[in-house]
Amino acid sequence: LLLRLQSGPALTKARRLHAVVLVCGHRHNAVLFTQLVQVYARLGQIEHTLLVLDGMPRRNSFAWNAAIKGLVDAGRFSEALETYQAMVDDWSAAADGFTYQPVIKACAAL
Protein backbone atom coordinates (compact mmCIF):
# COMPACT_ATOMS: atom_id res chain seq x y z
CA LEU A 1 0.00 0.00 0.00
CA LEU A 2 2.70 2.47 0.96
CA LEU A 3 4.75 1.91 -2.16
CA ARG A 4 1.76 2.71 -4.40
CA LEU A 5 1.86 6.29 -3.17
CA GLN A 6 3.88 8.15 -5.76
CA SER A 7 2.67 11.73 -6.35
CA GLY A 8 0.20 14.55 -5.75
CA PRO A 9 -2.50 13.34 -3.39
CA ALA A 10 -0.13 10.51 -2.54
CA LEU A 11 1.85 12.83 -0.28
CA THR A 12 -1.24 13.57 1.78
CA LYS A 13 -2.02 9.86 1.95
CA ALA A 14 1.56 9.05 2.95
CA ARG A 15 1.45 11.62 5.75
CA ARG A 16 -1.86 10.26 7.01
CA LEU A 17 -0.55 6.70 6.95
CA HIS A 18 2.62 7.84 8.71
CA ALA A 19 0.47 9.40 11.45
CA VAL A 20 -1.57 6.20 11.79
CA VAL A 21 1.62 4.14 12.09
CA LEU A 22 2.83 6.38 14.91
CA VAL A 23 -0.51 6.62 16.72
CA CYS A 24 -1.09 2.86 16.57
CA GLY A 25 2.24 2.16 18.21
CA HIS A 26 4.17 0.70 15.29
CA ARG A 27 7.30 2.75 16.03
CA HIS A 28 9.47 -0.37 16.03
CA ASN A 29 8.15 -1.89 12.82
CA ALA A 30 11.21 -1.75 10.56
CA VAL A 31 9.26 -2.80 7.47
CA LEU A 32 6.71 0.02 7.79
CA PHE A 33 9.35 2.62 8.53
CA THR A 34 11.53 1.45 5.65
CA GLN A 35 8.56 1.77 3.31
CA LEU A 36 7.85 5.26 4.64
CA VAL A 37 11.46 6.24 3.93
CA GLN A 38 11.13 4.86 0.39
CA VAL A 39 7.82 6.62 -0.27
CA TYR A 40 8.97 9.98 1.02
CA ALA A 41 12.22 9.69 -0.96
CA ARG A 42 10.35 8.84 -4.17
CA LEU A 43 8.06 11.81 -3.60
CA GLY A 44 11.08 14.08 -3.17
CA GLN A 45 10.12 14.82 0.43
CA ILE A 46 13.68 14.70 1.71
CA GLU A 47 13.02 16.28 5.10
CA HIS A 48 10.34 13.67 5.81
CA THR A 49 12.65 10.96 4.47
CA LEU A 50 15.40 11.92 6.90
CA LEU A 51 12.97 12.44 9.77
CA VAL A 52 11.63 8.91 9.41
CA LEU A 53 15.13 7.47 8.96
CA ASP A 54 16.35 9.28 12.08
CA GLY A 55 13.35 7.98 14.03
CA MET A 56 14.02 4.34 13.23
CA PRO A 57 15.37 2.49 16.27
CA ARG A 58 17.37 0.16 14.00
CA ARG A 59 18.00 1.27 10.45
CA ASN A 60 18.46 -1.29 7.68
CA SER A 61 20.25 -1.06 4.34
CA PHE A 62 16.96 -0.63 2.45
CA ALA A 63 16.10 2.50 4.44
CA TRP A 64 19.62 3.92 4.21
CA ASN A 65 19.77 3.25 0.45
CA ALA A 66 16.39 4.89 -0.16
CA ALA A 67 17.45 7.98 1.76
CA ILE A 68 20.81 8.23 -0.04
CA LYS A 69 19.19 7.76 -3.46
CA GLY A 70 16.49 10.30 -2.61
CA LEU A 71 19.12 12.86 -1.69
CA VAL A 72 21.03 12.24 -4.92
CA ASP A 73 17.84 12.45 -6.99
CA ALA A 74 17.10 15.78 -5.30
CA GLY A 75 20.58 17.08 -6.19
CA ARG A 76 21.66 17.16 -2.56
CA PHE A 77 24.97 15.42 -3.19
CA SER A 78 26.89 16.54 -0.10
CA GLU A 79 24.03 15.44 2.13
CA ALA A 80 23.92 12.10 0.32
CA LEU A 81 27.59 11.54 1.14
CA GLU A 82 27.03 12.66 4.73
CA THR A 83 24.17 10.17 4.99
CA TYR A 84 26.37 7.44 3.54
CA GLN A 85 29.04 8.28 6.14
CA ALA A 86 26.37 8.12 8.86
CA MET A 87 25.38 4.68 7.54
CA VAL A 88 28.97 3.49 7.78
CA ASP A 89 29.40 4.98 11.26
CA ASP A 90 26.07 3.60 12.53
CA TRP A 91 27.00 -0.07 11.98
CA SER A 92 23.29 -0.91 11.73
CA ALA A 93 23.50 -1.99 8.10
CA ALA A 94 26.17 -2.83 5.59
CA ALA A 95 26.55 -0.98 2.32
CA ASP A 96 25.67 -3.08 -0.71
CA GLY A 97 25.42 -2.82 -4.49
CA PHE A 98 22.42 -0.52 -4.20
CA THR A 99 24.37 1.83 -1.94
CA TYR A 100 27.35 2.49 -4.18
CA GLN A 101 25.61 3.66 -7.35
CA PRO A 102 24.09 6.82 -5.82
CA VAL A 103 27.22 7.39 -3.72
CA ILE A 104 29.40 7.32 -6.86
CA LYS A 105 26.92 9.61 -8.62
CA ALA A 106 27.12 12.05 -5.69
CA CYS A 107 30.93 11.98 -5.78
CA ALA A 108 30.94 12.60 -9.52
CA ALA A 109 28.57 15.55 -9.16
CA LEU A 110 30.76 17.37 -6.63
Q: Where are the domains of the chain?
A: 2-109
What are the helix (H) ranges across the chain? 9-23, 30-42, 46-55, 61-73, 77-90, 97-109
pLDDT exceeds cutoff 80 at 105: yes
pLDDT tier at 35, thresholds 50, 70, 90: confident
pLDDT at 43: 87
Residues 102/69, Cβ–Cβ less than 8 Å: yes
Its pTM surpasses 0.75: yes
pLDDT tier at 57, thresholds 50, 70, 90: confident
Distance CA 67, CA 61 (A): 10
pLDDT exceeds cutoff 90 at 23: no
